[in-house]
């Protein structure tokens, strides 16, 4: 299988990058091919130009990203929870890459106000998040908006029904032992979701 692995954290050497490395190791151990995108390192432009709102994007730098999401059989996305949202660079990737005609469309008789059809061939996605908010507070006070965003608003909208998400934290003040346990857990989750060369 071909898996698209995306990390969105501005600091190289961050715990998010460590999670990404473990996820990549797990995928390669299961004999998957992996496309890795470090959005900050690559300087991905998250700003949607007006001319991209409709039609085919003209920016040649966007073409490889569009091709990758169309060919991916699975996704692994790693990012911190900032204000209950992904970092802006990752939200811009969603806006510009998971677009109409690439990730979803509408039946011919639908003017765009109805139920979309997902176009992605990927059958599963794993989201690995970091946070400094304890899980019980995240759920009780904020309602865990990232869960609804990734599962319902993005991946299921685009036809990916199987979505696994895990939050690691609070990262602030965590010990090296705790972080190693989290990294092992992330590796196990990715291996379980994508266990071999083909869909289980």
Predicted pLDDT at 199: 57
Domain boundaries, the chain: 2-193
Helix (H, G, I), strand (E, B) or coil at 175: coil
**∠64-69-74 over CA atoms, to 5°?**
135
Predicted pLDDT at 111: 78
Token pair belonging to 126: 């794993």
DSSP state of 127: E
Mean pLDDT by 10 residues, the chain (200 residues): 98 98 98 98 96 89 97 98 96 97 90 88 97 77 88 97 96 96 98 79
d(CA 11, CA 40): 8
Name the nearest CA neighbour of 32 among 67, 69, 66, 5.
5
Predicted pLDDT at 52: 93
Name the nearest CA neighbour of 188 among 65, 23, 8.
23
Predicted pLDDT at 32: 97
Q: What is the pTM of this model?
A: 0.93
Predicted pLDDT at 142: 76
Predicted pLDDT at 108: 85
Strands 117-118 and 124-130: unpaired
Predicted pLDDT at 194: 97
d(CA 146, CA 86): 8
Predicted pLDDT at 198: 58
- Which CATH number applies to 2-193? 3.40.50.360
Name the nearest CA neighbour of 94 among 109, 79, 83.
79
Distance of CA 125 to the CA centre of its chain: 7
**Which sign does the torsion angle of CA 82, 115, 3, 23 carry?**
positive
CA 128 → CA 6, 61, 125, 143, 154, distances in Å? 10, 26, 10, 18, 15
């Amino acid at each position: 299988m071909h898996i698209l692995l995306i990390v969105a954290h501005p600091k190289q050497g961050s715990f998010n990058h460590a999670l990404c490395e473990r996820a990549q190791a797990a995928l390669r151990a299961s004999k998957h091919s992996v496309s890795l995108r470090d959005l900050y390192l690559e300087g991905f432009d998250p700003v949607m130009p007006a001319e991209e709102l409709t039609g085919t994007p003209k920016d040649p730098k966007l073409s490889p990203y569009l091709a990758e999401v169309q060919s991916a059989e699975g996704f692994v996305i790693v990012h911190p929870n900032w204000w209950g949202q992904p970092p802006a660079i990752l939200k811009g990737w969603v806006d510009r890459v998971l677009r109409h005609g690439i990730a979803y469309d509408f039946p011919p008789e639908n003017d765009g106000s109805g139920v979309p059809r997902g176009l992605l061939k990927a059958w599963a996605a794993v989201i690995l998040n970091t946070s400094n908010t304890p899980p019980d507070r995240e759920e009780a006070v904020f309602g865990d908006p990232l869960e609804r965003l990734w599962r319902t608003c993005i991946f299921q909208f685009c036809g990916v029904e199987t979505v696994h998400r895990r939050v690691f934290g609070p990262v602030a003040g965590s010990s090296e032992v705790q972080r190693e346990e989290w990294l092992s857990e992330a590796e196990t989750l990715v291996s379980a979701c994508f266990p071999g060369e083909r869909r289980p």
